Amino acid sequence: MTPRLRVHNMATSLDGFVAGPDQSVDAPLGVGGGRLHEWVFETRTGRAMIGADGGTTGIDDDLLAQGFEGIGATIMGRNMFGPVRGPWPDESWRGWWGDDPPFHHQVFVLSHHPRPPLEMEGGTTFHFTDDAIERVRDRAFEAAGGADVRLGGGASTVRQFLRARLIDDLHVSIVPVLLGTGERIFDDVGASGADYECVELVSSASVAHIRLRRVH
């Protein structure tokens, strides 16, 4: 089977925002954006991500876990890597995840300001690149060695790949909260939305999960 570029667990508010405004060290997902991910850390998989025991099983846990299965490399935007903007003042910012990030493979960070690769514990290496997104996708598939590639946030990164018709699978988790402002993923994506069909629609008590697959 041909490897696929997948988006998983893109938590979205009822009014379409995937992050709040004013991202900072104290508010990694912007002001109010943390509410979109409270369900994640109620699950067994989510709690394991932060080194905690317990957690719920069921729909939310199953779909969260699927986002890690069969993934050999990750692409993310600079906003997902951290809150630093403009030229890097130094190389002291090493991501949100501590010395042993949860990826354990090569991660390609889109940035207008490349810096040397950052090797972390557990097999994660961050590559900072200003290549065109098509080239980044190709590099990620090569690094994945036949496995799928996961596309992370932020919102602008997902929009770029949607507009370019590069995403094969898109899993959106709709959380019943209103943010009022912030970052959207479905603004200005043109006609690319017509490329997708819904292949799964399920809901827990906390989240509605929609999985879309590209058919054109």
pLDDT tens sequence across 149-172: 999 988 899 999 999 999 999 999
Asked whether residue 94 is domain-assigned, the answer is no
Domain that holds residue 80: 5-39+70-85+100-214
Residues 100-125, mean pLDDT to the nearest whole number:
95
Residue 57 in domain: no
Q: Is residue 62 part of a domain?
A: no
Residue 44 lies in a domain: no
Asked if the structure places residue 109 within a domain, the reply is yes
Task: Specify if 163 maps to a domain.
Answer: yes
Residue 71's pLDDT band (cuts 50, 70, 90): very high
Residue 63 lies in a domain: no
Confidence (pLDDT) at 189: 78
What is the value of pTM for the model shown? 0.93
CA distance 101 to 24: 19
> Which CATH number is 104's domain given?
3.40.430.10
Phi-psi region of 70 (alpha: psi -120 to 50; beta: other; left: phi over 0): left
Number of domains into which the chain is organized:
1
Distance CA 197, CA 211 (A): 8
pLDDT > 80? residue 193:
no
